A and B are shown apart, each in its own frame.
Chain A
Amino acid sequence: MAGADGDDSLYPIAVLIDELRNEDVQLRLNSIKKLSTIALALGVERTRTELLPFLTDTIYDEDEVLLALAEQLGNFTMLVGGPEYVHCLLPPLESLATVEETVVRDKAVESLRKISHEHSPVDLEVHFEPLVKRLASGDWFTSRTSACGLFSVCYPRVSSTVKAEIRQHFRTLCSDDTPMVRRAAASKLGEFAKVLELEYVKSDIISLFTALASDEQDSVRLLAVEACVSIATLLPQEDLEALVMPTLRQAAEDKSWRVRYMVADKFSELQKAVGPEITKNDLVPAFQNLLKDCEAEVRAAAANKVKEFCENLPEDSRETIIMSHILPCVKELVSDTNQHVKSALASVIMGLSTILGKDNTIEHLLPLFLAQLKDECPEVRLNIISNLDCVNEVIGIRQLSQSLLPAIVELAEDAKWRVRLAIIEYMPLLAGQLGVEFFDEKLNSLCMAWLVDHVYAIREAATCNLMKLVEKFGAEWAQNTIVPKVLGMANDPNYLHRMTTLFCINALSEACGQDITTKQMLPVVLKMSNDQVANVRFNVAKSLQKIGPVLDSNALQTEVKPVLEKLATDQDMDVKYFAQEAISVLALA
């Protein structure tokens, strides 16, 4: 190793190692990210005996350094000498699994889970499982929470005695004194159940599940709802009623709205997990209750699931259930007092039309859509408009167009620019569905009005919208309807509007093609090079650079080049700069 020529290769590694303890966090982070380089240079022996002990003690560092370290160690197996020595990685990961920062702990657990697979069955029992036990019986809850995530990875690969111990440890953590640990256990309950033998699922997991689902802490009970999904999938159908449903029913009627919210939020998963029969008998009434819940947050979560729930109902009774049980609740939600509920419903309600078919949609849903299109809250209207495509497929958009137009116009003129921005984004979609005639007649003028909006973001979006419309309706349409209006703005007294002309040309030239660009747009751009406002002039230079590739070489040489050369001698620095840039990009020099 020694010798003068060895220094060159050692030097960069020496720097990396020294920077592991540099004052600057960024440098430490950098070194940790290159830990594999350091380990390679040290060799497996020294990595095990020197580097890892050092890293084990590094837990005082900043979170971001620890996070990077926890991640690195998950990929370190080969660097410590392969699976035979993988257990050497356990001490540093163990200390990282007890730090207070959740992200770091979670990453350490993730890495531990990863390297657990690289342990031989013997090593797993000799090294890994004792670590899990140490964490599970640690003094501080940080270590016990970390243990919760490790049971499921070692359980399948250990002897039955050790398995019994693991189950016992998990049981203990489920009734830990601190809610932190019970939450961690509750959130891993489903995952642990999956690796357990079915008999133990029935004997152990169910009782833990029932206990956690009636914990005094809301935050624990609501996690049991998630576990419910996994547990229900594991059990045979005939056991569900006795083992899972009482708890689920209780959760759906929990005193705490947060627990009911969780049930509403997980409703589709629950529905799939318990199957069609229980859905029909139990979940339908539960869902009705959630849609009528006294807490708006719960109603909103349930409203979000209306479409998915209806879609997943068993086919034979789907229509009856929707018509007689769900739709009445949905009708009430349309006039809910809370706007989040209404807007959640509006984002999914259109999806019901494909499920219910044309006649039901026209008779029952259409009045609701129309009511929502007139809702006082812009978000509700926007959500309806943004989902028009579902209805279009079933009944055609014409049914709605009479109400649609006033709704769109109102949104287009909303005082909040973000609302205007949102509706602009739906214009190409609407145009496609309403057809060119309807568009020309009713919406075209709106699109042009946005070009002179006083908010830049709207003008910018309006320009982009024009481009999408031209892509949809073609160059000929553009030439007749849009281009003249855009070019007319070149003479506007407001320089911002004149610039909008240039921005539109930038966006449209490609979609309109060489002919229109050369014959109609180019003369206007060139003429604007004499504008008295420097901002307009340098935007002329930028526009010429942008549309140059669309023009033919003759026009470039004879018309564009002289103008750019003139701009390149402009008094204004920026104009000069952009003119020169255009000249070089278009290779006109």
Chain B
Amino acid sequence: MAGAGGGSNDVQWCFSQVKGAIDDDVAEADIISTVEFNHSGELLATGDKGGRVVIFQQEQETKGQPHSRGEYNVYSTFQSHEPEFDYLKSLEIEEKINKIRWLPQKNAAQFLLSTNDKTIKLWKISERDKRPEGYNLKEEDGRYRDPSTVTTLRVPVFRPMDLMVEASPRRVFANAHTYHINSISVNSDYETYLSADDLRINLWHLEITDRSFNIVDIKPANMEELTEVITAAEFHPNQCNTLVYSSSKGTIRLCDMRAAALCDKHSKLFEEPEDPSNRSFFSEIISSISDVKFSHNGRYMMTRDYLSVKIWDLNMENRPVETYQVHEYLRSKLCSLYENDCIFDKFECCWNGNDSVVMTGSYNNFFRMFERGHRRDLTLEASRESSKPRAVLKPRKVCAGGKRKKDEISVDSLDFNKKILHTAWHPQDNIIAVATTNNLYIFQDKMN
């Protein structure tokens, strides 16, 4: 299981690019908080704690270099959210981007939703390569002409100019969440999306900002009876009526929006019976689900809890069909991880393009891949040391006790401040984006 057969993976992952400052001194605002490819994989967006969104575009492949795929270069950078203050509640609202979701492309422009704790925004990213020229009453440089010299009318004409990429806010969906928004997900009907906070899920129409429908509300009448919160929510990739949400108790509820306007009653509850032998003070904390993702084909979903990744078949509620241990060696360290708050880290997870491999992050800038079916897994590291162009990443191993072999890292020397929470996989190709604290690493498979 863990740590076994790492090198036998068919894909050899190579370093491609790293984005962000090399300084060890990390500015809080530069910490990456979300990473997301668009539907074609041509664009890659990141959001950070400073409320900025940076979009990278993949360069067209050059025929002369068949061995390298196009690199991702900055396409557009914009300030999506600003820090705010809620005067009614005396609360600061952070600008940190919690999630980014791309909309299916509808015309030459690109659209994405970005959200902080409270407000969701729809952004348009468009290109402009022409600008109008020719005034009647002034010169192009702004100097005014003598009106008496204007004897004929001049209609401006569009002339080519250097390509300019503009990001403009199109809609602001505000004031619908009392608690912190943890997820947004666009419906396969292309016209609605959901936003989830700790206790409620709202349904929005992409064109309507002044109202949303509350479809799930788990807030108890008396807040002292609160036992669980919503941790993530997502729409099914092609069934417009199906959504799932995960909870801090380790359960996943599937709702069918056809059945009723309010989805308070789930139609399926996915839950694995607890193993009594593993029961401890930390059981509930580590079973909390930090991310849920449907597979591209819509048959499975993947959940990430503190120590493992589980794959569920939507047709089987009583246990996951696959369970992968991400860093089982931490089970004995839970006490210290609790003391330094690491136990509350929210790791995300993602599928590869054909749902055959899943990826998720760990500590010490390690990230893990699990090849389904073959029961093979791989630990890789995102680090400056191996960041030479097209350098093949060396599989890493953590020594879980006993005698440490050469090339193995002992659990005690893991750096818990270096964590990989956010990763993304290109929708078709073997290109992955991995966010370490303030750097974005892009890796791809070695092309033969």
Residues of A at the B interface (CB closer than 8 Å) are 1-4, 6-7, 10-11, 13-15, 17-18, 20-21, 41-42, 46, 50-51, 53-54, 57, 60, 98-100, 102, 140-143, 178-180, 183, 216-219, 254-258, 294-297
Contacts and interface: CB of A to CB of B under 8 A. Distances in A.
B19 interface: no
B320 to A, nearest CB: 27
Interface residues of B, number: 41
A264 to B, nearest CB: 13
B261 A257 contact: yes
B91 interface: no
A239 B292 CA distance: 50
A175 to B, nearest CB: 16
A17 B124 contact: no
B108 A140 contact: yes
A142 B150 contact: no
Given A14-B136, A219-B240, A4 B189 contact: no
Interface string B221-250: 000000000000000001111000000000
Contact of B190 (A21, A180, A258): A180
Contacts of A256: 241, 257-258
A93 to B, nearest CB: 15
Contacts of B207: 102
Nearest to B133: A21
A21 B131 CA distance: 10
A339 to B, nearest CB: 14
B54 interface: no
B448 interface: no
8 contacts: A2-B152, A10-B152, A14-B137, A17-B153, A60-B126, A140-B108, A179-B190, A217-B188
A-B pairs with lowest CB-CB distance, top 9:
A14-B136, A256-B258, A50-B155, A57-B158, A140-B107, A2-B151, A142-B107, A21-B132, A219-B189
Given A178-B104, A256-B258, A18 B135 contact: yes
A60 B124 CA distance: 11
B147 interface: yes
B137 A100 contact: no
A46 B107 contact: no
Contacts of A54: 132, 155-158
B279 interface: no
B185 to A, nearest CB: 16
Contact of B240 (A2, A21, A179): A179
A122 B191 CA distance: 39
Nearest to A98: B107
Interface in B145-199: 147-148, 150-158, 188-191
A143 B153 contact: no
Given A7-B148, A14-B150, A217-B240, A296 B130 contact: no
Given A57-B130, A295-B260, A7 B147 contact: yes
A51 B106 CA distance: 28
Given A1-B152, A14-B150, A100-B124, A219 B136 contact: no
A271 to B, nearest CB: 25
B315 to A, nearest CB: 18
Contacts of B375: none
Contacts of A141: 106, 190
A257 B240 contact: no
A99 B188 contact: no
Given A140-B107, A217-B240, A20 B153 contact: no
B95 to A, nearest CB: 25
Given A2-B152, A98-B107, A100-B124, 14 more contacts: A4-B148, A7-B147, A10-B152, A17-B155, A18-B136, A20-B156, A57-B132, A60-B128, A100-B109, A140-B105, A141-B190, A217-B240, A255-B258, A295-B259
A11 B191 contact: no
Contacts of B158: 53-54, 57
Contacts of A57: 130, 132, 158
A6 B148 CA distance: 9
A100 B206 CA distance: 12
Given A6-B151, A53-B157, A60-B126, A18 B137 contact: yes
Contacts of B126: 60
B141 to A, nearest CB: 14
A100 B190 contact: no
A1 B260 contact: no
A4 B191 CA distance: 58
Contacts of B259: 255, 257, 295
B299 interface: no
Nearest to A63: B170
Contacts of B105: 140
Contacts of A21: 132, 135, 156
B270 interface: no
A10 B136 CA distance: 10
A257 B263 CA distance: 12
Nearest to A260: B258
